[in-house]
A and B are shown apart, each in its own frame.
Chain A
Amino acid sequence: MTRSRSRPIRSVLVLLTLLAAGVVAAPMDVLGQETPRRGGVLLAVIGSDAPSLDPHQESTFANLQMVAPLYSTLLQLDPYSYPKVIGDVASEWKVSGDGLTYTFKIRPGIKFHDGSPLTAVDVKATYDKIVAPPEGVRSVRKIHYAAIERVDAPDAGTVVFKLKHPSASLLDNLASPWNVIYPKKYLEKDPNYFTKNVMGSGPFKLKNYTRGSTFEGVRNPDYFVKDRPYLDGYKFFISTETSVRAAAIRSGRAYIEFRDLPLSEVEAIKKQLGDKVVVQETPMIGQFGIAMQNTVKPFTDIRVRKALTLGFDRYTAGKVLYQLTGLRDVGGLMRPGTEWAIPPAELEKIPGFWRDADKSRAEAKRLLAEAGYPNGFKTVMKNRNVKLPYQDLAVYVIQEWRKIGVEVENRPLETATWFADGRDTGNFELYLQPTVEFMDEPDQFLNRYTTGASANYGRFSDPVLDDLFSRQTRTLDPAERKKLVIELQKRVLEQAYYMPGLWWTRRVVHLSKVKNYVAPPSHYTNQKLQDVWLSED
């Protein structure tokens, strides 16, 4: 069975959402109504520098947005039809009837930037590093590939993935933009080589990188996709200051900000530049919520956990915080509007998601009194010292909790301390937790609610959840999987192991001369820039 995987329902939903959100200009280009122009350098601003250059080892947009144009992946998400999976270096693939063998054909003639050929051997070496990294090398998403038993390269043009058990998410996860293909010979020399160096086969080659300042790529003339890329190159300017990035676009010093800008900045840019600027707003595959340390009092008590989630009026918060942060949509553990989301009518029956905020607060106070805290209690929330959206969300949630008598101190920490003295050691009572993935895939989002998962920061353990997760990841029946996924989410929310906050939206602002860039619902995908062109310099 050879197939280009597509999910019609999701595609239609997403397309409708994008259209409703006003994504107009770019799809017209996609339909070919304008003739692409070759040349020019795309100038972009980015809010952070990459911790390292190896996407296998990182999980920040700052890494991927800068290096994605330099690499190829086995599969990829269709830039114009999320979440359809299409090939990148794989030209075709088939899945065995028992779902245990995936065979990929590799396009011939692909070259790395040093001129050496990209073959199945390189794909195997890359996935061996991701699935079973050598000592001293990290692979932050290896858990998503737990079903893989081994990867074989029987010949230069064929890669075979053998699975221990069927996996509903494997193809989606093989389209991960993080899984860039490295040449085997460099990995053999040093598996950490790519943290500081680049050797890819993507549409652009690395030209220059000045840490903390700029990152530049130049056109790869040997790129395997004919007539691509259109651009001569791209250049990122790194600035952590939001107003500076916005000013750079207003003044034309930069043409695009791929991640997000606050609504106030977007409005100011639109007011000044008029039709010279395009704003693409999409829902975002990311949610910010609160992890509660389930192993310490008072959060060992379900009544206390429920009280906190009941004390947060998400519907009002979405209206207020959207202006400041882009946090807007109320949902469970999978993005609202997708096939995996708990339907709104069912969600609104779960404590914390009731429409009546007064009723929720009254119930929260009753539960606290029953748990022995009639006058509330004091606690601390460890948070990242980044304003957007961490601090804004924290300030809002804390004033909400004050209404039920719970006094929370927001403790902003520098990122390293936030990791080391919070998340990684479990040394927290409350912890503001972001959950951002590259696509709406239950394995990516729900693994963190299982026993012992490294991203289970609240350290809870529920055999029911473990069983539901294990069953949903193995079932190849979409209807059955959907049922299990929704059941799992309801279990987490009803037990209040974790408290979802709001789902994010994304506003990509670019000058109208930037053509053929469609903002997907993730700032990790569609970053290769091979189809992007400039109508003028």
Chain B
Amino acid sequence: MRTYVLKRVLLIVPTLLGAAALVFVIMRVIPGDVALLILGGDSGQIDQRQLTAMRHNLGLDQSLLVQFGTWLWGIVRLDFGNSLWTGQPVIQELLIRLPLSLQLALFATIVSVIIAIPLGMLAAVRQDTWVDYAVRVFSIGGLAMPGFWVGILCILGLVIFFGWGPPLEFTPPWVDPWANFQMMVWPVVTVGYRFSAVTTRMTRSTVLEVLREDYIRTAWAKGLRERAVVIRHALKNAMLPVITLIGTEFAFLIGGLVVTETVFTLNGIGRFVVDAVAHRDYPVVQALVFLIAFGFVVVNLLVDLTYAWFDPRIRYR
């Protein structure tokens, strides 16, 4: 087990290096030059001498290899550089947004798990009954309706029927829990619903698969109660793919909720990435993609380690 964990931790290094190199190259291949953007703006007044000076100031006149090396050396020292647009350290900009994104991802995941696992299990146990159909309609609805549309409906419904709208500014829960709740409950429900739809379907199909196994038939034959058969024998064994799904979705939610953040005016990581790409803010994009990749790798590692607890047959050698 220890060797396995060590191997997995060491594998993080080449994975992250690959991700870093990829995003570094992509940012420089796509059209659009940050120096040109800073100087040209909306007006289109460009002066070649100023452009050269700006590229020099931003370090963009150095070779790609030197730029990449400088950046990697910064990461080693946990220095992601400064945003080309705000001039603030990237890490500082990130810390403003991280609590919101983490809270949203965490709460949406909790909501999703609370809804999805019981519903998925119920649908599997009551396959082809009205319960199953109702759960399937619910989950297909969650998959079919785009998150931004549900979000806007949510806001408009509140405004039209109650003359009330969620706050426009994020308040951390430790500052004002009630204000935080008022703002976060709607995006959490919106994201949690879509997430639960995916997880419900996965739970239903894996539980159905397990329910057809011989050891479940044996459990029934032993005269065990339905609850024991379904929860102790079926659900636990059906959870492996569900856990993988929950893990990767959680990692995705941290940086991938651009649309939801836009609709609910949440100043999270997702919008930050998109804004940074639009401004060709290389240090910010590189740092964020790197950190999101890091998040995925860590979550995947945790998911793999969780397998052993759910399925004692799995032994890491």
Tell me if B3 is interfacial: C-beta within 8 Å of chain A: no
B33 within 8 A of A: yes
A482 part of interface (Cβ distance < 8 Å) = no
Q: Known interface pairs A136-B50, A241-B263, A250-B159. Does A424 touch B164 (Cβ–Cβ under 8 Å)?
A: no
Give per-residue flags for B23-45: 1 if the beta carbon is below 8 A from chain A beta carbons, else 0: 00000001111001111111111
Any A CB within 8 A of the CB of B22: no
A177 to chain B, nearest CB (A): 15
Given known contacts A58-B42, A247-B155, A253-B165, A211 and B86 CB-to-CB distance under 8 angstroms: yes
When the two chains form the complex, which single residue of A141, A212, A253 contacts B168, counting CB atoms closer than 8 Å?
A: A253
A248 CB–B CB distance under 8 Å:
yes
Q: Are B43 and A141 in contact (CB under 8 A)?
A: yes
The answer to whether A454 touches B165, judged by C-beta atoms less than 8 angstroms apart, is no
Cβ-based interface call for B53 (8 A): yes
Whether B63 sits at the interface, judged by CB under 8 Å, is no
A424 touches B46 (CB 8 A): yes
CB of A143 within 8 Å of the partner chain:
yes
**Complex-state Cα separation, A468 to B174, whole angstroms:** 65
| Chain B residues, CB < 8 A from A213 | 169-170, 265, 267
Complex Cα gap A457–B30 (Å):
22
- Docked pose: A263 CA to B263 CA in angstroms: 20
Select from chain A the residue with minimum beta-carbon distance to B165.
Answer: A251
Question: Does B41 contact A196, Cβ atoms closer than 8 Å?
Answer: no
A210–B267 CB distance below 8 A: yes
Is B272's beta carbon under 8 Å from chain A? Answer: yes
CB of B165 within 8 A of CB of A248, answer yes
- Determine if B32 and A419 form an interchain contact, defined as CB atoms under 8 angstroms apart: yes
Assuming the A-B contacts A238-B265, A241-B263, A424-B46, are A253 and B167 also in contact, with contact meaning beta carbons closer than 8 angstroms in the complex?
Answer: yes
**In the assembled complex, A421 has its CB within 8 A of some CB on chain B:** yes
State A66–B57 Cα separation when bound (angstroms).
27
Contact in complex: A416, B50 (CB < 8 Å): no
Interface string of A74-97 (1 = CB under 8 A from B): 000000000000000000000000
| Chain B residues with CB below 8 A from A57, complex form | 41
Most buried by A among B30, B33, B41, B164: B41
A237 touches B169 (CB 8 A): yes
CB nearest to B93 among chain A residues: A211
B85 at the interface (CB under 8 A from A): yes
Q: Which of A479-497 contact B (CB under 8 A)?
A: none
Is A210 within 8 A of B32, CB to CB? no
Q: Interface stretch among A45-53, A312-320, A510-518?
A: A45-53
A461 within 8 A of B: no
B212 to chain A, nearest CB (A): 47
Question: Which residues in A have their C-beta under 8 angstroms from that of B49?
Answer: 135
Q: Which of A50-66 contact B (CB under 8 A)?
A: 51-52, 57-60
A residues near B86, Cβ cutoff 8 Å? 196, 211
The contact string, 1 if C-beta is below 8 Å from chain A, for chain B 144-178, is 00000000100110111001111111100000000
Interface contact B263-A272, CB-CB below 8 Å: no
Interface flag for A420 (CB, 8 Å):
yes
Contact B168 A248 (CB under 8 A): yes
A455 within 8 A of B: yes
Whether A420 pairs with B33 at a CB distance below 8 angstroms is yes
Please, which residues of chain A bring their CB within 8 A of the CB of B31? 416-417, 420-421
User: Is B262 part of the contact surface with A, judged by Cβ < 8 Å?
Assistant: yes
B279 in the interface, Cβ–Cβ < 8 Å? yes
Let me know if B53 and A420 touch, CB within 8 A.
no
Are A419 and B37 in contact (CB-based, < 8 A)?
yes
Given contacts A57-B41, A211-B93, A253-B167, contact A49 B275 (CB under 8 A): yes
Using a CB-CB cutoff of 8 Å, which residues 53-68 of chain B contact chain A? 53-54, 57
A475 at the interface (CB under 8 A from B): no
A250 / chain B contacts, CB cutoff of 8 Å: 159-160, 163, 165
The minimal Cβ–Cβ distance linking B307 to chain A, given in whole angstroms, is: 39
B159 touches A247 (CB 8 A): yes
On whether the beta carbons of A416 and B278 are closer than 8 Å, the reply is yes
Tell me if A457 and B44 are in contact (CB < 8 A). yes
Contact of B262 among A240, A248, A414, A419 (CB under 8 A): A240
A385 to chain B, nearest CB (A): 10
- How many A-B residue contacts, CB cutoff 8 Å? 146
* Candidate in A142, A241, A272 with the most chain B CB atoms within 10 angstroms: A241
Q: In this assembly, does B280 line the interface, its C-beta being within 8 Å of a C-beta of chain A?
A: yes
Q: Does B47 contact A (CB under 8 A)?
A: yes
Q: Does B96 have its Cβ within 8 Å of any Cβ on chain A?
A: yes
Partner of B279, one of A45, A51, A251, A455: A51
> In the bound complex, do residue A212 and residue B275 qualify as a contact, i.e. CB atoms below 8 Å apart?
yes
Confirm or deny: B14 has a beta carbon within 8 angstroms of a beta carbon on chain A: no
Q: Please indicate the chain B residues that have their CB under 8 angstroms from the CB of A417 in the complex.
A: 30-32
Q: In residues 428-463 of chain A, which contact B (Cβ within 8 Å)?
A: 454-455, 457
Q: How many whole Å from A245's CB to the nearest CB in chain B?
A: 9
Given known A-B contacts A52-B85, A196-B87, A254 and B32 have beta carbons under 8 A apart: no
* Alpha-carbon distance between A250 and B168 when the two chains are bound, in angstroms: 13
A323 within 8 A of B: no
Shortest CB-to-CB span from A46 to chain B, Å, is: 11
Q: Which residue of B lies closest to A420 (CB)?
A: B32
Least CB separation from B47: chain A residue: A138
Contacts of A59 in B (CB 8 A): 41-43
Which residue from chain A places its CB closest to the CB of B100 in the assembled complex? Answer: A213
Question: Is the CB–CB distance between A251 and B40 below 8 Å?
Answer: no
A371 at the A/B interface (Cβ < 8 Å)?
no
Question: Does A455 lie within 8 Å of B45, measured CB to CB?
Answer: yes
> B68 to nearest A CB, angstroms?
21
Residues 235-289 of A at the B interface (beta carbon under 8 Å):
237-241, 243-244, 247-248, 250-254, 272
Most chain B Cβ neighbours within 10 Å, of A45, A213, A454: A213
A237-B265 CB under 8 A given contacts A248-B165, A420-B36: yes
From known contacts A51-B279, A212-B275, infer whether A420 and B267 are also in contact, taking CB-CB under 8 Å. Answer: no
Query: Once the chains are docked, how many angstroms separate the CA of A210 from the CA of B100?
Result: 13
> Does A41 count as interface, using CB distance less than 8 angstroms?
no
Nearest Cβ in chain A — how far from B119, in angstroms? 31
Closest Cβ–Cβ distance, residue A513 to chain B (whole Å): 15
B271 within 8 A of A: yes
Residues of B with C-beta under 8 A to A507:
none
Report the separation of the CA atoms of residues A420 and B31 in the bound assembly, to the nearest whole angstrom. 7
Contact with A along B237-276 (1 / 0, CB 8 A): 0000000000000000000000000111101000110010
| Cβ-defined partner of A416 (8 Å) among B32, B96, B152, B168 | B32
Bound together, the chains give a CA A272 to CA B262 distance in angstroms of 24
Closest A-chain residue to B158, C-beta based? Answer: A251
Residues of B within 8 A of A101 (CB): none
Give chain A residues whose Cβ lies under 8 Å from the Cβ of B166.
253
Q: Which residues of A contact B93 (CB under 8 A)?
A: 211
* CB contact list, A157-206 vs B, under 8 A: 195-196
Q: Which of A402-435 contact B (CB under 8 A)?
A: 414-417, 419-421, 423-424
Contacting residues, chain A, for B37 (C-beta < 8 A): 51, 416, 419-420
A357 on interface, CB distance cutoff 8 Å = no
Write the chain B residue with the least CB distance to A455.
Answer: B44
Give CA–CA (A239, B167) in the complex, Å: 12
In the complex formed, the residue of A with least CB distance to B97 is A212
Shortest Cβ distance from residue B31 to the other chain A in the assembled complex, whole angstroms: 4
Which of B32, B33, B163, B272 has the most chain A CB within a 10 Å cutoff?
Answer: B32
A residues neighboring B (CB under 8 Å): 45, 49, 51-52, 57-60, 133, 135-143, 195-196, 210-214, 237-241, 243-244, 247-248, 250-254, 272, 414-417, 419-421, 423-424, 454-455, 457
4 shortest interchain CB distances as A-B pairs: A251-B165, A416-B32, A213-B267, A140-B43
Known contacts A140-B42, A213-B170; 12 further A-B pairs (Cβ under 8 A) = A196-B86, A210-B267, A237-B169, A241-B152, A250-B163, A272-B160, A272-B163, A414-B32, A416-B31, A416-B32, A419-B40, A423-B44
